[in-house]
Structure 1
């Protein structure tokens, strides 16, 4: 399948040591009181090459895309960049295009609702910041429902429109078009609501009891606003493709049981799973996972994403929030506190099973279709996206590299909300930007460079705190010390996933054949 140049896997791993060491102890992290960030959504306008207006939902921590022809993807060449001119066929109804057809918000009175869970926050070594995402389909709910099911049509089959049906029934929406979740509410004459699991920009996720099968399920209820209803059709289309190509779910992507229209709300039903990996890390005080768990997670994630890429799909929003544990079962073990002689040991939760599911395909994009300028959550965003060079399959590989490092350390690799600072941190972690990639970036974003292709950091306006945090960023070899053969192979794999130039980045399919996965990692805590 034409994707992008596949570099040969030349392992730089030292094979002379067979010593197996336990997971290095994690020093107590000092909580810094840094910047407080608030990330919110905004809608910006883009014009494609043919002059069609599109609206795209982006997060406000980055400058909005310019109102110009966006960098797009060349399907035959694979790596999409500004120096590969975009090719468009017939207009495609994507999430970005659907957002441009937004209609007036329907509002109605509210009734008693279930209490909303506390908003999910991402630690910044002690500080908090909201980890929101461009083009989200259900926010960072504890359970995000995606998948493919069967339903005859979007509207009711009795000839009554959704608006007419809603008008004839008691109000069920709040003023923002979210469905008002109440205990023991019956949805679609089949599902009895149990509790609210989470809420995002595009809707809510609830736990419900299936009166037909006796099982508990998760239902994502899309807001009763036309642009979100239209956008949900894109997600259903993707999920139908996934289930059609993998009916036995061997690739660990969540499957829908069905979808339907309930009182002007598109509802997507899936199996009820455990918490997301980020929530587990948070409840575990951001303690790293054992190395044998990291290997199991890595194998599953690379397999899931390779399956997507084989279907010409790019997830574009890989992060721990979009990885669900199948089971939350864990045991608690005491861990000695390093550096404190008589301090009581801290407790660490160890998962009993490492089965996971990849979720939230609301931002997934087919390779041959329209690519928005800005995708991915900030912490996992590839450099080619920041530099406006276009993006393709390799951006998923970069996100996976960031995720694997986070599994190893317990905290996000890049904790920033500024593009130039982000690129400076990348150079601290990954080494200097290659000359060819830097020249391309300088042509696209000259404000980030000086003397041709050198990153212009620090700018005179950079704060002392920003400079300090960039200087404190460790190299990849310092983060993952090559103390034994396991770490050396793991370091080599992550290094290949985090290469600046996407044309040189390892593909997820090739990554599955990396020597790291041939090692039997011993059980550790």
Structure 2
């Protein structure tokens, strides 16, 4: 089999949520100095160039704003190439959304030098940086300077520190290295990992993973979630974007599904990770069992039925998300691709069968509009469009869906998924129960490992 080894699979991924804690002040905004005297633009530009020549740096202007009209400590239009390596960049205003404005090569405190932007999310940005003290590459999550995101970041730090104390080997969840408050942005320093499973699928044209790789991903994911549940923590936002490969290396292998095509189309390859090791990230929405639970949690595609119906949620909502993730890794596409509750519930019934009447009877009053005559889903009568109806009708039953994509182990996988995707949260498999399922143990028994 022809293989090709490749390094660096580009990476993106992220998300968030709230609570207060005294902050460490790294580089707070200085007191506003008196307004500088107005200087004609030509004179200001001459002074700027003279300063640049003396300091041996070259100013680059990225907007047509008059330099003399903006105080230098808050000028977001001037970026300097060649800032002294152990100094701080000039103070700039955040952008309109509260994101930190930076330039590649600058410092984030004297310790960290910015190498590249790895990704961006609703919470802020993730920057690849060089840690000048430890001489290693790290990923720094720079949170937006908006209070609710700052509070969510402090919750995430609490969770990360708790996980780090108990995860001695650091094999289950991303490891926090450090954190600080820089210019009103909470910055969390992490070990640098590879791409998310979602990014890998996307860059791989949404071609599914082999079943043996899905089994290994599933085992590690369940071990990580079981570890969190033992600590009385509920992740609440499990999805492929929040599962990162430890390594960016991958290999190219022939994709046998396409070998039947004519030779004129050229060879068909797909990428496979060189290592199957993964880690969980993004604990900004993680909740302690004893904390108040918000009404809605989880990203839409991975949201459990009890959350949609307003029945309250707990550990089982994570298990439902894992079931959806395993289907996506096998098929290459999200199981429930929807953006509205009624359509989502109709998709569930199409794939898994009708919702239990007792769940519907206990549902929150806000969900009554989704049902007719008490316990029948208002579908297709309540559909918003014919496209919505087609999106539901094209979905197969769960066993048929899995058998379209899986040859070996299909029966075991279907049985596991039916345990993870049970409507009633109390009947759903727990993480440690799922780890003992034949989907994970049958091959081990066959070779005498158990």
Equivalent position of 2:137 in the other structure: 216
Count of residues in correspondence between the two structures: 376
Cα distance in 1 between the residues matched to 2:241 and 2:388: 26
1:423-434 superposed matches below 5 A: 423-434=345-356
Q: Which has the higher helix share?
A: 2
Is 1:244 aligned with 2:165? Answer: yes
1:444 is displaced (CA, Å) by: 5.7
C-alpha offsets along residues 88-120 of structure 1, whole Å, 9 cap, x if unaligned? Answer: xxxxxxxxxxxxxxxxxxxxxxxxxxxxx9998
Deviations 1:262-285 (A, max 9, x none): 222211101111111101001111
Q: CA deviation at 1:307?
A: 0.9
Name the SS for the 1:205 alignment partner.
Answer: strand
Distance 1:118 1:497, change over 3 A: closer
Which of the residues 188, 201, 204 maps onto 2:109? Answer: 188
Task: Give the gaps of 5 or more residues in structure 2.
Answer: 1-9, 34-72, 74-89
Deviations 1:396-434 (A, max 9, x none): 000000000000001100011111111011011111112
1:418 aligns with 2:284: no
Q: Distance in 2 between matches of 1:469 and 1:202?
A: 31
Partner of 1:502: 425
Match of 1:396 among 299, 318, 335: 318
| Residues 166 and 263 in structure 1, CA contact (< 8 A), matched pair in contact too | no
Task: Tell me what 2:24 maps to.
Answer: 155
Q: Counterpart of 1:457 in 2: which secondary structure?
A: coil
Give the direction of change, closer, same or farther, for the CA distance of 1:442–1:363 in structure 2 (3 Å limit).
closer
Deviation at 1:156, TM superposition (A): 3.2
Which residue, 383, 387, 396 being the options, matches 2:305?
383
CA offsets per residue over residues 130-173 of structure 1, 9 Å max, x none?
xx97x469xxxxxxxxxxxxxx962338xxx8343798662252
Structure 1 residue 293 and structure 2 residue 209: aligned? Answer: no
Aligned partner of 2:121 among 200, 203, 211: 200
Q: Name which of structure 1's ranges 277-286 and 335-344 shifts more when overlaid on structure 2.
A: 335-344
1:326 to 246, 252, 256: 246
1:247 deviation in Å?
2.7
Corresponding residue of 1:174: 95
The TM-score, its normalising length taken from structure 1, stands at: 0.67
Residue 235 in structure 1 maps to residue 156 in structure 2: yes
SS in 2 for 1:481: helix
Shift of 1:330: 1.5
Q: Are residues 346 and 224 of structure 1, via their aligned partners in 2, closer, same or farther at CA, if it must alter by over 3 Å?
A: same
Q: Where in structure 2 are the equivalents of 1:470-509 lying within 5 Å?
A: 470-481=392-403, 486-509=409-432
SS at match of 1:164: coil
Distance 1:296 1:374 in 2: 30
Contact 2:11-2:194 at 8 Å conserved across structures: no
* RMSD, matched Cα: 2.6
**Take 1:278 and 1:136, find their aligned partners in 2: how far apart are those partners?**
22
Does the Cα contact within 8 Å between 1:389 and 1:444 map onto a contact in 2?
no
Could you say if the C-alpha distance between residues 385 and 327 of structure 1 is closer, same or farther in structure 2, counting changes exceeding 3 Å?
same
Identify if the C-alpha distance between structure 1 residues 218 and 166 changes in structure 2 by more than 3 Å, giving closer, same or farther.
farther
> Which residue does the alignment assign to 1:164?
30
Distance 1:232 1:165, change over 3 A: farther
In the alignment, which residue of structure 1 is the partner of 2:187? 267
CA contact (8 A) 2:11 2:195 kept: no
Structure 1 residues 460, 229: closer, same or farther in 2, change over 3 A? closer
